[in-house]
Amino acid sequence: MSFKTEEYVLNVGPQHPSTHGVFRMRITLDGEIVKDVEPIFGYLHRGVEKLMEMRTYKQGIPMTDRLDYVSAINNNWPYVMAVEELAGIEVPEKAEYMRVIMAEMQRISSHYLAVGSQMNDMGSFYTVFMYMFREREKLTDLMEMVTGQRMMYNYMRFGGVSQDFPKEFVPLLRKFLRIFPKYMKEYEDLLYDNEIYLSRTKGVGILTREDAINISTSGPVLRSAGVDFDVRRDLPYSIYNKFKFDVPVGKNGDVYDRVWIRMEEMKQSASIIEQALDMMPAEGKYQTKVPVVLHVPEGKTYKRIESPRGILGCYLESDGSDKPYRCHFRAPAFINLTALKKLMVGQTLSDAIITFGSVDLSMGEVDR
């Protein structure tokens, strides 16, 4: 027996836990099957890039914190590298190690939130989500110890970082790294041996290798589709060429692979941090002295890094004044968002929500 059905439109967001920020989707449904998806944003828009053109170069650094508020330190990096290249500012070796350590701590912290929120989307709020926040809090405490902030760190500076590590920091970070594998084993036992989790993630929200490349996705979304590319290894910046680490790559491009990649990347980040702590010079400057008001020579450049969400780039153009003539960011969450229709159409609504969460959007950089 067949029933005549009529398509209808469902609004999800702009204020809803499963939209992971101020984001709205108009989902066309036939019963429970997704027929079309229209992403709508603009509820958070603050014009950050335009505001940066009205501020001095140094005043622009805290603006970058607010792009991806889950990964603020990583967002400082391409901007300060772009200014350093145009102004010819050298970064001391010790400062490069400090940047790597803080950025990889931020990557782990970001992935904790991404994977934990994924479980929240499935209805498992008080288990994996709260376990991961337990460990994320330890990293937040450590980053607060260095920067004085818990979210908008404003840590990087032209020619280095804002301040040195306090003497208590390294011993406490090493303590975290010692117990980190035990925590990861707990998460893996909770996820990989869970029949419900496996049935909700394997074969769900598939993005093909061809589509992932054509849409210009990056980060875990790209690597889940079997594309072996990571800026840290393939287009190394800072001192990443000094470290040994693996790049986890998926096979199926589904929700399971995207979560698995973030889990494995946390292990690799912990390894990079440990190597950096062992190799970092005990003495040395953490910042090159630069003028309080910096006039950057005329020119343009583009610098990129591998953020937790993918390729984060900064295009910077200078007219020789103390303010950027143009500053524009290639935001990985914004680009990855364009894969949404490919990922969600044809799925049930409940699977579409899980698929959306697996992209790991930060609306601050999408709607900048």
- CB contact at 8 A, 31 and 8: no
- pTM given for the model: 0.94
Q: Tell me, what DSSP letter sits at residue 287? A: B
Residue 126 included in any domain = yes
Instruction: Answer whether residue 33 is part of any domain.
Output: no
Outline where DSSP puts E strands in 138-272: 156-157, 160-161
Q: How many domains does the chain have?
A: 1
pLDDT tens string 31-53: 899 999 999 888 888 889 999 99
76 is a domain residue: yes
Side-by-side strand order, sheet with 33-40: 8-12, 24-30, 33-40
Q: What is the pLDDT of residue 1?
A: 61
In contact, 221 and 311? CB cutoff 8 Å:
no
Residue 6 lies in a domain: no
- The answer as to whether 78 is a domain residue is yes
CATH code, domain with 58: 1.10.645.10
**pLDDT tens figures, 291-344:** 989 999 999 999 999 999 999 999 999 999 999 999 999 999 999 999 999 999
* Residues of the chain falling short of pLDDT 50: none
Whole-Å CA distances, 366 to 100, 231, 300, 306, 338: 24, 20, 24, 16, 11
> Is residue 354 in some structural domain?
yes
For residue 120, the model assigns a pLDDT of: 81
Examine residue 21 and state whether it is found in any structural domain, yes or no: no
With respect to residue 18, please indicate whether it lies within any of the assigned structural domains: no
Give the domain extent around 252: 41-366
- Secondary structure letter of residue 216 according to DSSP: T
Is the omega angle on the peptide bond into residue 14 within 30 degrees of 0, that is, cis?
yes
